[in-house]
Structures are given as C-alpha cells and as structure tokens.
Amino acid sequence: MKITKYEHACFTVEHEGKLLIVDPGAFTTSLTAPENVVAVVVTHEHSDHFDVAALGAIIAHNPDAIIVAHSDITRQFGDATLPYHSVAAGDAYDVASFHLEFFGGSHATIHPAMPAVSNLGVMINDKVFYPGDSFVLPNKPVDTLALPVAAPWLKISEAIDYVMAVKPRLAFPTHDAVLSDIGKSMPDRMIPSFSEQEGTTYKRLSTLASIEI
C-alpha cells in the first residue's frame, strides 16, 4: 500500500490500483479530484475534515465511489446527491480492496461547554490506523499510525502518550495545519525520543509526499 499525505488531516491510501481518501476537509487545498477513487472516509463533521464541496468534486470525477461516515455526517448532505454508507463504532465495511473497521464514537473534548460530536477512528486493511480527532485505542496491532499532533483538543504530552500506547511500527504526524513551519518542528523534535522507546519510527511526510508500507 502507498500512503500520500496532504495538508492537515487528509491522506490517501492506494492499494491494487484503487484509492481511498481520508478526511478531505476545508484545510486541504492540494487535493484535486484524483482518479480511481473507490471510497472517501470522513471521521467527523468539523469543517477541517468534512467539506461537502470537496466530496462533491471527488464523486463527480469518480461516480462509482462511496462516502463512508457516521450518520451525523451523512444526514447533512442536504440537496447534494452523494452516495454514502453510514457506519458506527464497531462496524466494518469492505469496498474494493479495502477493509475498514471503525472505533471510538466521540470527538475529544475541546471545552466542556462546547457540544460533543461523533468521531470515528478508522483501521484500513488491518494496517493503517487514524483516530480522527480523538485518542481512541484500537486494541489491536497497528503497523502505521496517522498521529494527530496539534489541535485545540490536545497537548503534546497526550500525543506522546498515545503513540507510546499504540506502539506502531511507523507514525507520521497529521492534523497540523494549525502549526507554522517552525511550530511543526516542535513535535518532530519531542515525539521521537519517546516513540523510539517503544520501537516506533516517527517520520514527517511533507505535503504530497508518499511512503510505501
């Protein structure tokens, strides 16, 4: 499989010539409508992960693709005619060469006064895990972890504890459009000294960079 990183929380996974897109939100500007998309996973409804216009462009270019998301998201499509499959925590869904499993159910707390929203972590082909905006544990081995490193809902100590708990072979930082280039150097400096204790390689992927796993 090949992972390609885009801005903020968006990445793609390519397998057997087919493409899965995760969280093409409003903070992601480098993602054009690619070819061979079979599915789009949206972890939750915040606009940096969920952009109806972006989803519409992807589906227009890939009419056989399907959006996989919680019903709290799919009910917001309104007049947009978008194909979808609703999932919840504990569900699994297969599309083309991708096996998807969903975990968690709730977004991490930003502030107690702010309404909670649904959030699903996703495991892709028993290998790649992304928790969305949460630190949900999949409670199964993870080869490659998309690790949130900056957000209104997290501290760097929590990201460190999380990667040490998951113990993936490889972790790459995501959810980091809120950081400047200098700011991105902070998790890149702090996290490896801890993750390496658990045998995890931490590797930053620049925008449009790819890695084979």
User: pTM here?
Assistant: 0.96
- Of 40, 31, 140, nearest to 82 (Cα)? 40
User: CATH code for 2-212?
Assistant: 3.60.15.10
- The 10 Å Cβ neighbour count of residue 64 is 11
Tens of pLDDT along the chain (213 residues) come to 999 999 999 999 999 999 999 999 999 998 987 999 999 999 999 999 999 999 999 999 999 999 999 999 999 887 778 999 999 999 999 999 999 999 999 999 999 999 889 999 999 999 999 999 999 999 999 999 999 999 999 999 999 999 999 999 999 999 999 999 999 999 999 999 999 999 999 999 999 999 999
C-alpha to C-alpha distance for 178 and 166, rounded to whole angstroms: 24
C-alpha to C-alpha distance for 132 and 51, rounded to whole angstroms: 15
- Sign of the Cα torsion 168, 2, 152, 107 reads negative
C-alpha to C-alpha distance for 144 and 35, rounded to whole angstroms: 24
C-alpha to C-alpha distance for 77 and 61, rounded to whole angstroms: 18
The residue type of 169 is R
Domain boundaries defined on the chain: 2-212
Which pair of structure tokens corresponds to residue 174?
């995501």
Task: Tell me what pLDDT residue 192 has.
Answer: 97
Task: Tell me what pLDDT residue 44 has.
Answer: 97
Q: What are the angstrom distances between the C-alpha of 141 and each of 43, 172, 176?
A: 20, 16, 25
Task: Tell me what pLDDT residue 116 has.
Answer: 86
Task: Tell me what pLDDT residue 80 has.
Answer: 72
* Tokens 């400096």 sit on residue: 189
Task: Tell me what pLDDT residue 81 has.
Answer: 85
C-alpha to C-alpha distance for 73 and 185, rounded to whole angstroms: 33
Task: Tell me what pLDDT residue 77 has.
Answer: 87
